[in-house]
Amino acid sequence: METHFKKLYIALFFGLFISVSFAFAQGTPNPGPVQIVNPLKFDSIQEVVVEAAKAATTIGFYVAVFFIIYSGFLFVKARGNEEALKSAKKTLLYTLIGTAVLLGATVLANVIKGTLDQIRAGTNSAEIIHFG
């Protein structure tokens, strides 16, 4: 019985393969040049980095709010227990450090984008400042 199923699977596979090959053989007479379309809305790597940082900041903001609320819950749950208070303080501290790193990454991405835009434009700070 099992050999019949194997033969059936093999026949279905080859039947599918042959039908697909006939379908691809029916191509258009003159398809013309192939054009590659950019699926992203970004034109440069700087824009990708800035948008990725914005997305990470947006998601990270909600995660940070959740963990701040969670650490507040840990403070209430501690009820004076020193070990539980240490754990709550540690959670709050790490949440604030993570939030600062997240915001710092966004600022750094914007600074890098601004620097690369200035380099691309061919200007630097010496050309912008006029002395005398």
User: Could you tell me which residue, 72 or 131, shows the higher pLDDT?
Assistant: 72
Counting Cβ atoms within 10 Å, is residue 112 exposed (0-12), middle (13-18) or buried (19+)?
middle
Task: Delimit the domains of the chain by residue range.
Answer: 45-128
- Tell me 40's DSSP state: S
> DSSP per residue over 7-20, as a string?
HHHHHHHHHHHHHH
- The residue behind tokens 């434009």 is 121
* Average pLDDT value for the chain: 79
Stated pTM of the model = 0.55
For the stretch 96-114, pLDDT in tens is 999 999 888 878 877 887 8
Alpha-helical runs (H) found in the chain: 2-25, 45-78, 82-121, 125-128
pLDDT band at 92 (very low <50, low <70, confident <90, very high): very high
